Amino acid sequence: MAPSPRFAGEAHAFNNEGPMLPELAFRELSRVTSALGNAYLDHARATLNTIIARPDLLEGVALERNGQRYTRTLLFGDSQMSVWAILWPPGAKTSIHDHHCSCCFGVVRGTLSELWFRPVDARQVAVEAIARREKGFVAAMLPSGPNIHQMVNEGTEDALSVHIYGFDHTRHESSIHVEYELAAQ
């Protein structure tokens, strides 16, 4: 039987050794964490909207290109985040994947298709939704998972997007956490 709270109306969290912190402290920590997450996402959206409104900010950037594959060019990186310009030639696509960190992006030029998936098992997924992401579109999400998706340039022109990821590019090769396969239909 769990010990009773010391204060009326206050629940406590317990471990095997007895009471820990009051539940109220955990609720406040959760609220602050959520507020920080929302503030981060708001700032990421605002930054992406600025870049989309001023594409000339990217004019001096030598964007990497690798044939028909999408390519990433690092715009900024530190121990908290990395910002990438991604060039999408026609037909370029990512793997079906989820992220280990926050993922925010904005479409600067062209149109991308974003396919969303639902898990069927640990490694297979089924298509849940498809959305067209046109110039000006901005998305921002925390790694609340699963956020399984794939980006594809189905158009006939290059597309350009800017992505803000919550990871240190010197410690992780990419923001991809898990790659999936499409389940047989």
pLDDT tens digits along 74-83: 999 999 899 9
Residue 29 lies in a domain: no
- In sequence order, what are the residues at sequence separation of 6 or more whose Cβ sits closer than 8 angstroms to the Cβ of residue 111? 132, 133, 134, 135, 153, 154, 155, 159
**Residue 20 confidence (pLDDT):** 53
Residue 157 lies in a domain: yes
Greatest alpha-carbon span in the chain: 67
Note the pLDDT tens digit of each residue in 93-141: 999 998 888 889 999 999 999 999 999 998 999 999 999 999 999 999 8
The total domain count for the chain is: 1
**Residue 58 confidence (pLDDT):** 93
Residue 12 lies in a domain: no
* Residue 10 pLDDT exceeds 50: no
**Residue 4 confidence (pLDDT):** 43
Range of the domain at 129: 50-182
Token pair 């925390």: residue: 142
Burial class (CB in 10 A: 0-12, 13-18, 19+), 135: middle
Residue 41 lies in a domain: no
* Residue 19 pLDDT exceeds 70: no
Instruction: For residue 184, give Cα distances in angstroms to 31, 43, 97, 125, 126.
Output: 42, 40, 17, 9, 8
Considering only 119-123, 132-136, 155-159, 167-171, which range has the smallest mean pLDDT?
Answer: 167-171
**Residue 184 confidence (pLDDT):** 85
Looking at residue 88, which CATH number applies to its domain? 2.60.120.10
* Residue 27 pLDDT exceeds 60: yes
| Distance separating alpha carbons of residues 179 and 181, to the nearest angstrom | 7
Report the percent of the chain where pLDDT is more than 70: 88
- In sequence order, what are the residues at sequence separation of 6 or more whose Cβ sits closer than 8 angstroms to the Cβ of residue 1? none
**Residue 108 confidence (pLDDT):** 97
Residue 104 lies in a domain: yes
- Confidence class of residue 17 from pLDDT cuts 50, 70 and 90? low
Average pLDDT over residues 145-161: 93
Residue 89 lies in a domain: yes
Average pLDDT over residues 54-58: 93
**Residue 155 confidence (pLDDT):** 95
Residue 3 lies in a domain: no
